[in-house]
Amino acid sequence: KIWDIRTDQLKDEVTASKLDEIKTALEYGEVIGIPTETVYGLAGDARNPEAIQKIFSAKNRPGDNPLIVHVHSMDQLADFTEPLDPKVETLMKHFWPGPISFILPLKGSVLAGNTVAELDSVAVRMPSHPVGHAILEKVGFPLAAPSANLSGKPSPTDFSHVIDDLNGKVYGVVASDPATYGLESTVLDCTQFPYRIARPGSITKGGLESVLKEVVSKHHGDDERPIAPGMKYKHYAPHQPLVVVEGGFKNNTHLRLEEDQKVGVIAPESVRNLIPDGIYFISLCSGENDYREAGRNLYAALRKMDKSDVDKIYIHGFPKKEETEALMNRIHKATGNEIIKEESE
Ligand code: TXA
Ligand code: MG
């Protein structure tokens, strides 16, 4: 079932009846694709182990990878987390609703054990997408929601991606506006000091530190033990080999060498004129500094290449900066760390 609910239709009467249907389905333990500002999520009642099992099955997700629990109000947290540390509360009040999840100590047995992969902690998030938020508010109970893709595929940034991956495997999908961030939320582990970024996202280390007035550590590198279990799996990958071109496309010798192959390039529109004819070009963003736009478009570009007939894909590497960290983290995960450094002329 597909419910069309755009942000500008939230006040419509027909929307109210759609939200009622969605609520009833979720109460019955069904799972539904819902929009958030980061990526679409596959939502189910976080208290209901059968609903959660449906999420793992539909995605083909390993059972040791815990889900993020979504709420519409901070008051809901008291049912299943220990009382909030004042610092966590400060961060939540500053960044919520928005693209950050907090790992907190779990309390009691309100949440289903499989929601948190039997851990003694839980990741929580309050999305800002008006439609996602309205669904959470209507439903009233917490919704566990991983990204609504098949495990190993890029996260869905548009409802059509959810349908491509999960049609026939889930009860329904809410067709709404595309995700404005396009990269999954920052995951901050607040169960230890200093707090640690378990997954980089649009809310950066510097952004957190300026609110917290304290140092935040990072622990998500590939050479280290991943603390967010999900970070250890290969991710976001199209089926063809994908190589990141560090420093961007300049002389393109590697592109010219492969005349027998169909080659695809994902790069900013501003470098299109540097790419030889006959190469399938997908524009990632306008200019080389439009990182936000690149983040928003990355997964759709990877999905489009995946469906195309190219044999090999090259993707523009952005310079190492705080604002590009999440973007490059996802690009590196998709390439499996295949890197080419362009020689400068
Ligand atoms: O932006 C997002 O976070 C999206 C939208 C739908 O909210 N959700 C999302 O969920 O990306 P998922 O399941 O694809 O990624 C959740 C990440 C995984 O890497 C998981 O291992 C980690 O969060 N995680 C969840 N609970 C955890 C916990 N208790 N301890 C450590 N890591 C946890
Ligand atoms: Mg995911």
Question: 178-220 pLDDT, tens per residue?
Answer: 999 999 999 999 999 999 999 999 999 999 999 999 999 987 5
Q: How many angstroms is it from 59 CA to the middle of ligand 2? A: 9
Residues 6 or more apart whose CB falls under 8 angstroms from that of 122 comprise 66, 69, 80, 81, 103, 104, 106, 111, 115, 116
318: helix, coil or strand? coil
pLDDT, tens only, 39-57? 999 999 999 999 999 999 9
Ligand 1 binding pocket includes 270 (Cβ within 6 Å): no
ipTM of the complex: 0.99
Q: Which helix (H) or strand (E) holds 303?
A: helix 291-307
Ligand 1 binding pocket includes 228 (Cβ within 6 Å): yes
Residues 6 or more apart whose CB falls under 8 angstroms from that of 270 comprise 286, 287, 288
Ligand 1 binding pocket includes 67 (Cβ within 6 Å): yes
pLDDT of residue 270: 95
Rounded to 5°, the CA angle 9-128-213 comes to: 160
Ligand 1 binding pocket includes 123 (Cβ within 6 Å): yes
Distance of CA 248 to the CA centre of its chain: 24
pLDDT of residue 330: 94
CA distances from 20 to 25, 175, 208 (A): 9, 16, 37
Beta strand 217-218 pairing with 196-199 = parallel
CA distances from 65 to 21, 60, 119 (A): 29, 11, 10
Within the chain, how many helices (H) and strands (E) appear? Answer: 9, 16
pLDDT of residue 260: 78
Beta strand 41-45 pairing with 32-34 = antiparallel
Whole-model pTM: value is 0.94
pLDDT of residue 263: 92
Q: State the DSSP code for 27.
A: H
Q: How many angstroms is it from 229 CA to the middle of ligand 1? A: 8
Task: For the beta carbon of residue 320, count every other beta carbon within 10 angstroms.
Answer: 9
Task: Write the class of the CATH domain 2-231.
Answer: alpha beta
pLDDT of residue 112: 98
Closest-lying ligand 1 atom to the alpha carbon of residue 99: 1
Ligand 1 binding pocket includes 295 (Cβ within 6 Å): no
Ligand 1 binding pocket includes 119 (Cβ within 6 Å): yes
In angstroms, the CA 12 to CA 246 distance is: 48
Q: How many angstroms is it from 342 CA to the middle of ligand 1? A: 34
- Among 124, 150, 145, which Cα is nearest to 57's? 150
* Range list for CATH 3.40.50.11030 in the chain: 242-341
pLDDT of residue 250: 76
* Fold adopted by 242-341: Rossmann fold (3.40.50)
CB under 5 Å of ion ligand 2: residues = 147
Positions in the chain whose pLDDT score sits under 50: 222-226, 344-345
* Range list for CATH 3.90.870.10 in the chain: 2-231
